[in-house]
Amino acid sequence: MSVDLPAHMRPQNSFQGLILTLHNYWAERGCIILQPYDMEVGAGTFHPATTLRALGPRRWNAAYVQPSRRPKDGRYGENPNRLQHYYQYQVILKPNPPNLQELYLGSLEAIGIDPLLHDIRFVEDDWESPTLGAWGLGWECWCDGMEVSQFTYFQQVCGIECAPVSGELTYGLERLAMYVQGVDNVYDLNFNGLEGADKVTYGEVFLQAEQEYSRHNFEYADTAMLLRHFDDAEKECKALLDAGAKAGEGGAHRMVLPAYDQAIKASHVFNLLDARGVISVTERQSYILRVRNLAKACGEAFLLTDAGGFSAAA
């Protein structure tokens, strides 16, 4: 870590300082720094920069923050750790470099976690996303017994074998920040690293949103409308994929990304419906399956695009 950072920019003092430090660290190592995807997603993995770019043969190294929405995890702002909206820091490296573990540990040192002071561990965790038809092997990364990241070697995404394999790192930013700032309540995090009248806390930025969205997610979201939206998104996704397949020449596909947006939308709508408690245990499975089918179809179409490594047959 560069020692000459001003105090209010240091990860130990500042939530945004933590993000900026990670940006710098991964930018220095050749990643493109992307901005969050402009749709509601449940995790950084849903960003097309991960889901779709993990497919096909092309090199891809990217890092970005992704606001993630888990409607069910809302606690009306009353729980010190649980949020329905939080930030994930996502790094994807394709193919994974041979020293990915060292790179990851370097990023922890960059944000001020000394591995000779803190107990850092790689604990088995087989990652799976049923909605994305994706799985991989890797670990939960523990720091003094707390899970601070997920580390995954993608084996399959959208039901398609990854060739080559990507390494995916996901940092839970609030949790990591609470750790390095030594704070027990997420709302007490110092957001901007300043003190006194200039200090802005996480609570000042997000508490009201947590309260309002919890109300929305659990009580007021219009379920009849959401059910319609789910069906619409599903229909639109399929229609766009069909149209894109017809438009492409030589077997290429011309409309994957807009179709994938609809898959993301369906997934988020499903999460909202789930939070409203209108999906029974048996229905749950079939909704997940429907989203997975969309994701799979998108993944297969992506392989027929330029970014997916497709070159039209001569």
Partner 1 sequence: MPDLLLELRSEEIPARMQRKAAGDLRKMVTDGLVEAGLTYEAAREYWTPRRLVLDLRGLTARSKDVHEEIKGPSTKAPPQAVEGFLRKAGLSDVSQAHVHSDPKKGDFYVAHISRPGRAAEEIIADLMPGVIRTFPWPKSMRWGQASAKPGSLRWVRPLQSIVCTFGPETEEPVVVDFEIDGIRSGNVTYGHRFHAPGPITVRRFDDYVAKLDAAKVVVDADRRKEIILTEAQNLAFASGLDLVEDEGLLEEVSGLVEWPVVLLGAFEEDFLSIPPEVIRLTIRANQKCFVTRPQGREDVLSNRFVVTSNIEAKDHGKEIAHGNGKVVRARLSDALYFWKTDQADLPDLDMLSASAEKFGLDLKKPLDQRMARLDRLGVTFHAKLGTQGERVARIARLAEELAPLVGADPALARRAAVLAKADLQTEVVGEFPELQGLMGRKYALLQGENPSVAAALEEHYKPQGPSDRVPTDPVSVAVALADKLDTLTGFWAIDEKPTGSKDPYALRRAALGLIRIVLENGLNFSIDPINDVQVLRHQIGASPVAPEKLGPILSSAVRGGLFSQDTRALVAKAKADPPRWLNLIEEHDPSVSDDLRTFLQDRLKVYLRDNGVSHDTIDAAITPESCNLLTIVRRVEALGSFLDSEDGRNLLAGTKRAANILAAEEKKGTAIAEAVDPALFRDEAEKNLDAAVNQAEKEAGQAIQNEDFSAAMRALSALREPVDSFFERVLVNDEDQAVRANRLALLSRIRAATGQVADFSKIAG
Binding site residues, partner 1, CB under 8 A: 57, 80-81, 95-98, 101, 105, 114-124, 126, 136-139, 143-146, 153, 155, 162-165, 167, 179, 184, 280-282
Three-state DSSP class for residue 296: helix
Helix (H) or strand (E) holding 32: strand 32-33
Taking the complex as a whole, the smallest distance from the CB of residue 25 to partner 1 amounts, in Å, to: 19
Distance of CA 311 to the CA centre of its chain: 29
Nearest approach in angstroms of CB 247 to partner 1 is 29
C-beta closer to partner 1: residue 76 or 122: 122
Q: Please, what is the minimum distance in Å from the beta carbon of residue 264 to partner 1? A: 27
Residue 232 CB, shortest distance to partner 1, in Å, is: 28
What gap in Å lies between CA 85 and CA 175, rounded to an integer?
13
Return the number of the residue (140 or 242) whose C-beta is nearest partner 1.
Answer: 140
152 contact partners, CB below 8 Å, separation of at least 6: 127, 136, 137, 138, 167, 168, 170
If the CB atoms of residues 123 and 225 are measured against partner 1, the closer one turns out to be 123
Neighbours of 220 (CB within 10 A): 10
The amino acid that residue 79 corresponds to is N
**In the complex, minimum distance from the CB of residue 114 to partner 1, in angstroms, rounded to a whole number:** 8
**Closer residue to partner 1, CB minimum distance, 77 or 244:** 77
The answer to whether 166 and 94 are in contact (CB under 8 A) is: yes
Distance CA 114, CA 286 (A): 46
108 vs 102: CA distance, rounded Å: 10
CB of 121 to partner 1, least distance (A): 6
Q: How far apart are CA 3 and CA 5, in angstroms?
A: 6
Pair type for strands 134-143 and 160-161: unpaired
Closest CB to partner 1 among residues 108, 264: 108
By beta-carbon proximity to partner 1, the closer residue of 37 and 127 is: 127
Q: Which is nearer to partner 1, 9 or 146 (CB)?
A: 146
* Distance in Å from the first CA to the final CA of the chain: 51
The C-alpha atoms of residue 231 and residue 146 are separated, in whole angstroms, by 39
Residue 282 three-state SS: helix
Closest CB 165 distance from partner 1, rounded Å: 4
Tell me which residue of 28, 17, 148 sits closest to 88, measured CA to CA: 148
